[in-house]
Structure 1
C-alpha cells in the first residue's frame, strides 16, 4: 500500500530501540544551568534533543549579523554527552526587527485586520520578504551545521500553519490568482468550476479575484475550498524551499512536525507526507473532548497512515498539563505511561516531549515538562524516569509494523468541504463523524489504518467511509472496484454528494440516481431531513440517531433497520447491498455509540475481521516483524483485565504461558514468536 517512497534513508535519526527525546531552549537559561541540564538528560536516558526551534532572534540579533557562540556551545555539550541533535532551522517565528522593518510580512485576517507581532508565527506564507530573510537564515544554519556529527535530524520551522495558515492580504491575493491560473488555465474554466453564474459572480479576468474575505452574505463554496487548498499548498511550497536548502548542505534526514489533532485542519497532510523523510507529529491530550484517550489513538493511527505504515516520530507531547486549553488538566499517575504506550503501539519509534525544563517566563510557563518547576523531587520527574525505562524495555518493538485489516477513508479536502457554508445542517461536522466511526471500531478491539480516497484497499477486509461529502470520479470508482472484488465497506450519511469542485452529483436527464455511490450502495438519497440540535430519532431495532435523517430510495439494497418515529417513520435508516463479490452498508443517521458499535461488530464479522475486545477503555494493538508479534494491552479502565498468549511480557520481563493479567491503569506488552 505504498503511496510514496521516502526521499532518502531515515535510519540516521535512530540507532535501534525506541527513541526518547525532548525540546530544549537553552536561550531561556543562563549557561551555568546547561551542564546540570545535560547531566540530568543523561540520567533520564535522553537520546535526542531538538534545539534552535525558536532561535532566530538569538542567532540573528540584527539583520545579517549572526552569533552562533551559544548554539555552538550547546551542540558541543550535547554531543560530548552522547546526545544527538534534532536541529531546527530557527525560522518558525521572526524576530521583532524583521516585522518592524517590514510590517508587510504580517498576516491579514478575512475581515482585513492585521495580526501583530508579540506572539509567534506573525508572518504571511506568501510574503517574498519573509521568505527572503527566512531562507537566508536557513541557508546559514544549514551550511554551518550540515556536516556536524551531532546532527541526526533536521527540523524545518515548527508546526507550520498552526496560527498563520490562512492569510488574506494583497500579497496572498496575488499568489492565490497565480495558483488558480495554474490550476484552471482559463478564466472560463474557473467560472465553470466555481459555478459563478449564481449570484452574478462571473469573472472576466484573473485580477478580479480576491481571497474569500469577509462578505455581507455567504461566500461562494468553490471559492472557499480552493482558497483552503491554495493555503495548504502555499505553506508546503515554503517548506519545500527550506527543504531544498537543507538538503543541499546535509545528508541527514529532514522533517517538520505535523499537527494531527481534532481542531487543526488547515494542512492537507496527504499532500505533505511525500515531502518529509520522516513523518513526525505533535500531539497533546485534549481534555475538551468527551473521550480524550480515544483521540490519542486516533491521532497516532492517522499519523501512521501518513507514514505508509512505517515507524514515525512523536515530535512533541506533554508529561502533564498544557498551557493553551481552557482548563489545563494535569495527567493522573499512570496516564503518561498509557498515552506514551498508545503512540508506540500504533507505530511510533520515537517519543519526544515539549519541553525539557519548564519555563519560568513567557506564554508557556505553566506548560508541563520532563523537568518540572518542582525539580527532581517530584512525581513528574519520577514518571519521566519511568517512561524512559519503559521505552528501553520496548526496544525490541522498534522497526516493526502495526497489524490492521480495517481502514477509515480520511480526507482533509472533505473536512474543508463538509464544513463549508449553507449546508442542510450546521451540526454535520467531519471530524466528529470520523471519531464516531473510529470509536465503534475501537470498541470492537480492531486496529485501524487511515487511507486517503483513491488508496489501494486490497489489504483491507473492511473500509469505513464517514461523511465523505466530495470525491472525484476516479476515487469513487476505486472504492466501487474494491467492493466488487470482494471488499466490504460502510458509508455514512452526507457522502458522495459532490465532486471535487463541489458540484452536486446529479444526472439532469434523471437517467441515473444522484450521488457517487448510488450503484454501490443500491440506494440513494431523495431528500434531507436534518434534526434539531437536541433532536433524536428511534429506529425499528431500538437504536437511536441524532443530527440527521433522510429519505432513502432503495434499488437493490436490503433494508436493515427503519426510522420508527420522527418525520420519516418507515423510511430506511440503514441498508446493506451485495455488490459484485462484496457488500456495502449505508447508514443514514448518526447512531448512538452502543448502536454504532453493534452495527460495526456485525460488519466486522461479515468481513471476517476478528477484534480483541476487552472493553471500551482497553486498547489491544499488535505490531509485527518477521519473527515476533508484540501485543500491547493498555488498560485505561479501573478494573483488571486479562488476555491469553505465550511469550515474554516486556514491561516486567516475565515469561507468560497462557494468561496475562493487566491491572487497572497498567500497560502490558507480550512478545510472541511468530514461528
Structure 2
C-alpha cells in the first residue's frame, strides 16, 4: 500500500491499527516473526523509536543507524506504516552523566535519579539543545521515507517531568510571571500576598512552590500553568524542527486525557496537533470502565476541530502493570473497548505495546502478542479486532454529530480544586464531572466534554459541575446561553474562585449567583458515612449547603437534619425559554439520572435495553450506528441496514451478543 502525505492527511489508508513497537528489545529473528504476526493481525501502523535515543546516538555526536535502518526497511517492505517518534522521552546515559543538571527536581529539591522516563527538566536549555539535535538527525534520515507517515513527538509529555522545581525552572517561572503580570503590584494583588505577609518586592524573590504544604494557592495555580506551558514549548520546538524538514507530515504527541486533570492542559494544547491523539487505560477498581472509555472519547472529540476523527495512540489488550492490583480484561472486553473508541470518533486503535517485554518496569504489561505467544485467546482476539477494523473501513473520516448535552471540564479548575485546603478535601473534581456524565450517558445521549471557551451554540443543555475556578468571561457566556433559551445546570463547588484562585465574595457560587437567583450562605460538607434525603425521596452524601433563594423556584428541599426545609435544588426561568438549575447537594447516581431525564427530551435511544450503548458517526451520505452491549446477556433491538461486522442485512431485529458489538451501516432506529 502507498500513502500520500499530501492527498491523505490521515496516516493510513484505512482505520489505523497497531501498537508501540520496541524491536530493540529483541533479536532479528523475532523481528521477522513480528512482521509475520502483524500482517496476520491486520496491523498497518506502528509507533517506532520512542525510547531509542541511547541506541542511536551511542555517544555525544556518535550515531549508529544500522539497526533502525534495518527495521524501518523491514516494516516498509511488508506494507506497515511507521509513526516515527522523536526519542527524546529517554535521554541517554552519557547525556545524564555529562549534564546531571538536566534532571528534574521535585518540590523538596531532590533530583530524579536516572532510571525512570522523561528524566529531563522542561526548562533546561542544555537538554533542549541536545534534544533538537537528535530530532533533526532523525528527521533528516527518515523523514522522506515513503512508509514514515507521521511524527510522534516524545511520549506522554509530563508523565514523569510534569513539574520541575530546580533553579533553572525557578528562573523560567519568574520570566513567565513577568510576561503575564508585568509588575509586582499586579502580581501581589492577584496572589493576595498580603496574607501572612508574603508581599514580593523583587521578582528574584519568587520561588516555585517548594517544600511545605501551606502554599499560596494562587502561586501554585500559576506554577501549574507555567509547567504546562514549558512542556508545550518543548513540544513546539521539536515540532518546528520536524516541520522544517517534512512540512507535509502530520505531527502529534500522545495525550493522557481522562476524567482527572493532568499536569498538562490538553485542550489548550490541542490546536497545535495535526492529529489529536490520546492514551487511555481503564482502572481496575473502576466499577464502570465502559463509562470511563466513553468519557475519554467524549472529551477527545470535543478537542478536535469540528469533531474531526482523533487517534487512540495507546490502550491495553488486557492488564496493565502500574496499578495496585492489575485486573485482566474479561473475554471480549478488549474488542468492546476498542470499538467503543471508534464509535466515539477515533480513526485509530493502537496499543501499548506490540510484544510483551521480558524485562524492565513494564514486563507484566499486556501486549498484542503476550508472553504465551501466538496460540492464545488474546492474540486470536487481536486478529479478530484487526478483521473488524478492516470491515469498518468505510467509517473512516466520518464524524459524530453534535450532541444535545455539553459538560464543562477544565484542567485549571481541577488544579485549583485539588491544591490547598478545601471544605471537603476528599472530593475529586473528575469524580464530580464523571457523575454528571454518567447520568446522561445512561440515557444514551451524545455528550461532549467541553472546555469553558468552547462554542456553546447548538447544545440544549449545558452542565457546569464542580467548575471551582470560573473567570468572568466563562460566567457571562454560560449566562448568555441560558438567556438565549438553553438549560444550564450548575453543580455545587462551581464558580467559587476567579482566575487568580481568589474567592468571589457575596455568597457561593459567586460567578453564577445572579444567573441562578439563589446563593449559598455556608457550605455544609458531610462527614464520612453521613447521608441526606430530600423531600422528593432523592438522597446523597458528601456535600450539602445552606441555600437562600432570591427569585428562583425551589424544586426540592432537604428533609430532616440541620438543613430540613431549606432548598437543595432550584430552577430559574430566563429569556426565551431558558432556565438555570442549581444542584447544591451531592446527589447519588439515581437522583442525577432523574434530573437528566427531566432536562432533555427523550429519544428512541433513551430506552435501550440496559447496558446497551448507542453511538453514531455520519458522513455526507450515510450513518454508522454502533451498538455496544456492556451487559452479560444478549440484547435484541429494532434496526435496519447492513451489519458490518457479520456482513449481514438487518431488516427489523438485531441481536447483540452479551459483551458484543454490532455496527449498522445507514441503519436508523425505528
Distance in 2 (CA, whole Å) between partners of 1:614 and 1:131 is 53
Aligned to 1:148: 145
Using the TM superposition, give the Cα deviation of residue 514 of structure 1 relative to its aligned residue in structure 2, in angstroms.
Answer: 6.5
With over 3 angstroms needed to count, the CA separation of the structure-2 counterparts of 1:89 and 1:471, relative to structure 1, is same
Q: Secondary structure at the match of 2:370?
A: coil
Aligned to 1:205: 202
Distance in 2 (CA, whole Å) between partners of 1:615 and 1:457 is 31
Using the TM superposition, give the Cα deviation of residue 176 of structure 1 relative to its aligned residue in structure 2, in angstroms.
Answer: 0.5
Q: Secondary structure at the match of 1:104?
A: helix
Select which of 48, 54, 59 maps to 1:62.
59
Structure 1 unaligned regions, length at least 5: 1-7
**Structure 1 ranges of 4+ moved more than 6 A:** none
CA offsets 1:231-270 (integer angstroms, 9 cap, x no match)? 0001000100000000000121000000013456111111
Matched, 1:246 2:235: no
Distance in 2 (CA, whole Å) between partners of 1:610 and 1:560 is 27
Matched, 1:633 2:627: yes
Select which of 660, 665, 669 maps to 2:654.
660
Distance in 2 (CA, whole Å) between partners of 1:673 and 1:258 is 33
Structure 2 unaligned regions, length at least 5: none
Contact in 1 for aligned 2:569/2:584 (Cα 8 Å): yes
Distance in 2 (CA, whole Å) between partners of 1:176 and 1:189 is 16
Matched, 1:602 2:601: no
What does residue range 535-554 of structure 1 map to in structure 2 within 5 Å? Answer: 535-554=530-549
With over 3 angstroms needed to count, the CA separation of the structure-2 counterparts of 1:436 and 1:513, relative to structure 1, is closer
Aligned to 1:446: 445
What does residue range 106-505 of structure 1 map to in structure 2 within 5 Å? Answer: 106-215=103-212, 218-250=214-246, 251-263=248-260, 265-308=262-305, 309-403=307-401, 404-505=403-504
CA offsets 1:457-500 (integer angstroms, 9 cap, x no match)? 11111111110111111111111111111111111001112211
Contact in 2 for aligned 1:436/1:593 (Cα 8 Å): yes
Using the TM superposition, give the Cα deviation of residue 673 of structure 1 relative to its aligned residue in structure 2, in angstroms.
Answer: 5.9
Contact in 2 for aligned 1:446/1:610 (Cα 8 Å): no
Distance in 2 (CA, whole Å) between partners of 1:464 and 1:80 is 51
Using the TM superposition, give the Cα deviation of residue 346 of structure 1 relative to its aligned residue in structure 2, in angstroms.
Answer: 0.1
With over 3 angstroms needed to count, the CA separation of the structure-2 counterparts of 1:616 and 1:287, relative to structure 1, is farther
Distance in 1 (CA, whole Å) between partners of 2:116 and 2:528 is 36
Contact in 2 for aligned 1:614/1:641 (Cα 8 Å): no
Contact in 2 for aligned 1:443/1:613 (Cα 8 Å): no
With over 3 angstroms needed to count, the CA separation of the structure-2 counterparts of 1:493 and 1:125, relative to structure 1, is same
Matched, 1:577 2:572: yes
CA offsets 1:163-207 (integer angstroms, 9 cap, x no match)? 110111111100100001100000110001000011101000100
Using the TM superposition, give the Cα deviation of residue 625 of structure 1 relative to its aligned residue in structure 2, in angstroms.
Answer: 1.2
Select which of 587, 591, 594 maps to 1:591.
587
Using the TM superposition, give the Cα deviation of residue 428 of structure 1 relative to its aligned residue in structure 2, in angstroms.
Answer: 2.5
- Aligned Cα RMSD in Å? 1.7
With over 3 angstroms needed to count, the CA separation of the structure-2 counterparts of 1:194 and 1:156, relative to structure 1, is same
Distance in 2 (CA, whole Å) between partners of 1:531 and 1:514 is 18
Contact in 2 for aligned 1:645/1:672 (Cα 8 Å): no
Distance in 2 (CA, whole Å) between partners of 1:56 and 1:617 is 46
Aligned to 1:5: none
Contact in 2 for aligned 1:12/1:153 (Cα 8 Å): no
Using the TM superposition, give the Cα deviation of residue 16 of structure 1 relative to its aligned residue in structure 2, in angstroms.
Answer: 4.0
Using the TM superposition, give the Cα deviation of residue 674 of structure 1 relative to its aligned residue in structure 2, in angstroms.
Answer: 7.8
CA offsets 1:378-431 (integer angstroms, 9 cap, x no match)? 111100111101111211211111132211111001010111212211123210
Contact in 1 for aligned 2:642/2:667 (Cα 8 Å): no
Q: Secondary structure at the match of 1:328?
A: coil
State TM-score, norm by structure 2.
0.96
Q: Secondary structure at the match of 2:515?
A: helix
CA offsets 1:87-121 (integer angstroms, 9 cap, x no match)? 00111111111111111111111112121001211
Matched, 1:31 2:28: yes
